[in-house]
Structure 1
């Protein structure tokens, strides 16, 4: 059930490598594979929500003012 368009495809393995460097983490291959699987699952679940069209007048987030 993998539905991704080329335009919106994300290279999660590259993202994990970049975050390892940025956060100074040392992950083993087992942990890296588990993270990759989780990111792919989350992206699959979020796909339908992200594809939901919003009305032009609909705000995408709350606006808070002091």
Structure 2
């Protein structure tokens, strides 16, 4: 009986994402987001953010020793 219940639970765990994916593929695409319309600008802003973070880490003038 235990083996049967484990098999049923395993089948349910496998079937749930498959059913959700089928349901999702039928959904309409009206009014989709255009956030990825300008990948160059997004990459530029990301690069600038990384550069600013590196500059802030490197230009830290707090070089006081920690030990007394």
TM over 0.5: no
More helix by proportion, 1 or 2?
A: 2
Structure having greater relative contact order (Cα 8 Å, sep ≥ 6): 1
Which has the greater radius of gyration? 2
| TM bucket, shorter chain | 0.3 to 0.5
Report the TM-score, using the length of structure 1 for normalisation.
Answer: 0.35
